[in-house]
Amino acid sequence: MIRFLQSGNRAVKFILSAFLLLICVSMVWYLVPGLNGSDTTNASGVVATVGGESIHTDEVTKLANNLLKQQNIPEQYRSFMVPQAIRAASQQLIQEAELRYEAGRLGLTVSDQELRDELRNGQVGPVLFPGGQWIGQEKYVALLADNGTSVEDFEQQMKMRLLDRKLLGTIEAAVDATPAEVEKVYKEQNTKVKFDYAILKQEDVANTIKPTDSELKAFFVSHAANYQNSIPEKRQIRYFVIPDATLQSKVTVTPDEVQKYYNEHQEQYRTPEGIKTRHILVATPKPGPEGKVDPKAVEAARTKAQNLLKQLRAGADFAELAKKNSDDPGSAAKGGELDFMPKGGFVAEYEKAAYGQSNGQISEPVQTEFGFHIIQTQDKRAAGVQPLADLKNQIETGIRAQNVSGMLQQIVNDAQSTAKTKGLAAAAAKYNAPMLQSNPITTKDALPGIGPSRELTQGVFSATQDAGAQAVRVTTGTVIFEVTKIEPARTPPLDEIRDKVTTDFKSDQAGKLLQQKVQELADRAHTEHDLRKAAKEVGATVATSEPVTRASTINGIGSMTGPASVAFTLKPGEISGPISLPAAGMVLTITERQDPSPTDPQFAKDKDHLRDQIISGKRDQAIGLFISNLETRLEKEGKKKINKTEMDKLTKIGT
């Protein structure tokens, strides 16, 4: 087996775990067709087979879990996302198997030497070979184990990734962009137009609509379903509040309790040895294809670092120099400041220099794989346990909260028991709390003395009228309540909601009328060859744009890549047809057009970037088409089979 890898520090583990996840979730996402193979396998625990290779249930569920973790889905919502994650994981694993099958059919393989080259020079190269030096098999194994995988599995995944790259690379290599295509895209992106535009807003059209009683009655009847139970359920409650502040004042925490808690939880207060620094980084270039670094560029970086150090020695402000000169984007904006880092968190050269000087001292330029660092040591922290004096308030607050919670539970139990035997008023009096009676409330209303509380309204509207005293925690305390009256949801008569029905009628009619008026505006403008005159006749508002490109956005119109993009197809003097906008309609006429020329100096600067942009899009399309055709062919040949029974069983998990 190949033998590589390094470092047990947290930064390296983070980089590697992120890369492992990348391998796991980004193999093939060019095309996501439905899982609709016509045949199925019947083997239990097998989701699909591709060319004789089985894709097992445990593989799918493992990848689905990784996908959910990547999205940071909260635990309480995860069950709702499981079916979607299962389908995505199944599709990915099936597509990977299809590519493996096709690569094998074409005789493509990945050698151990190719894997070695990838691990040394690819994305994980800086992690596995810091400074160009391999870090040892023992650390390699340990680091992979920390990230939940083995050497064999990791290297197999890497080989599969390289195999995919080989196969898809043969497709990408055939893609190119012609000079004509580059010129066309340049013109599309840089053409500018200036135009007059007349807009009619749906809101203004609605204000002109005056419905009659008969029209409202007919609309109310035809849209009866919209008003079914439109008056929501309302409830009245009696309640009193036990404020948390009242309990806080009754709870005391003794020094002995604080000391006992500290003694029993010292492990959680243990801090590792660490250091706080700030630095200015002057980056050096990365090795080229042959693994060599331009020595002149390295010397230029060294010279710049020395000059910055001279400025610091002469009294320059460290933070300002870092902001203007540091090549570390994460810390430059903060004046070079880095967070407190446990020992082992920095690369070896940086750490040696930082720990080797006193607080406040500034180092000579220190060379690492990233470049030259000017390091100022700000504070060092020895390993140990935080002293009780630093934690006293924190521990006391935690104990107090725990004691308040226990006392509160006793009070709630007692209050509910008293209310059950003697009534809610007696329970309120026992705790010197005023008894309150609410008006009929909906789920959106707030209660006096409490304010908005989703938890309380959920409790109120889930309790029955004979449920007795209930308790609900709110922001400031605990509410003890009883439901005294329930008014069910009902369908109101027209007269009770006439205003709402009128608004709905206007909105419904305005959309249709707007289309008619915008069409009339366009017809008049074309007939009269005068947009402004036509706009005045139909009551539209006219405005003039600045010269804009497709990347522009205009207030009231939106992005010029949207419906208004028709402007770029017109010549000066031409008038558009009706253009639909959100809650509005528009007609425009071009007053000025600026077409860029391929002789423009800017075209010479942009054409390489544009060519890359076109090729990237074409490659995605070519790969998507290849995968689609491959799937179709494998299905026709009977080499791809989906076990619908197993898939259905998997996607029901959590639903």
pLDDT of residue 135: 64
Per-domain boundaries in the chain: 10-174+621-651, 192-226+497-594, 234-253+391-487, 273-382
Residues 396-426 pLDDT 10s: 888 888 887 888 888 888 988 999 899 999 9
Q: Which residue has the higher pLDDT, 554 or 244?
A: 554
Summary mean pLDDT of the chain: 86
Return the structure tokens found at 487: 């008014």
Beta bridge partners of residue 384, listed in sequence order:
271
3-state secondary structure 167-228: HHHHHHCCCCCCHHHHHHHHHHHHCEEEEEEEEEEHHHHHHCCCCCHHHHHHHHHHCHHHHC
pLDDT of residue 1: 30
Amino acid identity at 647: M
Identify the CA nearest to 425 among candidates 242, 238, 241, 243.
238
CB–CB of 612/23 below 8 Å? no
Class of domain 10-174+621-651: mainly alpha
Compute the average pLDDT of residues 492-503. 95
User: Angle at CA 145, nearest 5°, toward 143 and 151?
Assistant: 85
Compute the distance between CA of residue 410 and CA of residue 369 in angstroms, rounded to an integer: 62
Identify the CA nearest to 88 among candidates 111, 65, 107, 110.
65
- How far is residue 520 from each of residues 526, 537, 585, 590, measured CA to CA in Å? 10, 10, 11, 19
pLDDT of residue 17: 45
Question: Would strands 558-559 and 553-554 be described as parallel, antiparallel, or unpaired?
Answer: antiparallel
CB–CB of 375/353 below 8 Å? yes
CB–CB of 27/629 below 8 Å? no
Compute the average pLDDT of residues 545-557. 94
Looking at the predicted structure, is the pLDDT value of residue 448 above 90?
no
Looking at the predicted structure, is the pLDDT value of residue 632 above 50?
yes
Return the structure tokens found at 286: 């990365």
Identify the CA nearest to 112 among candidates 158, 70, 80.
158
Side-chain-side CA neighbours of residue 290 (13 Å): 3
pLDDT of residue 530: 96
Looking at the predicted structure, is the pLDDT value of residue 133 above 80?
no
pLDDT of residue 288: 63
Residue partners of 138: CB distance under 8 A and separation at least 6: none
Residues 374-400 pLDDT 10s: 999 999 988 888 888 888 888 888 888
The reported pTM is: 0.53
Residues 571-626 pLDDT 10s: 999 999 999 999 999 999 999 999 999 899 999 999 899 999 999 899 989 988 99
Q: In the chain, pLDDT over 90 holds for what percent of residues?
A: 50
pLDDT of residue 522: 97
> How many residues are given for the chain?
655
pLDDT of residue 397: 85
Identify the CA nearest to 361 among candidates 372, 347, 346, 377.
377
CB–CB of 585/228 below 8 Å? no
Looking at the predicted structure, is the pLDDT value of residue 13 above 70?
no
Q: Which residue has the higher pLDDT, 581 or 30?
A: 581
Q: Does domain 273-382 sit in CATH 3.10.50.40? A: yes
Residues 202-253 pLDDT 10s: 999 999 999 999 999 999 999 999 999 999 999 999 999 988 777 777 788 8
CB–CB of 575/534 below 8 Å? no
Return the structure tokens found at 350: 């940086």
Amino acid identity at 255: P
Return the structure tokens found at 363: 């180092």
Mark 223-238 as b/e (b = at least 16 C-beta within 10 Å).
eeeebeeeeeebbbbb
Q: Which residue has the higher pLDDT, 243 or 481?
A: 481
* Span of 111-125, 296-310, 562-576 with lowest mean pLDDT: 111-125
Phi, psi of 331 (to 5 degrees): -115, -15
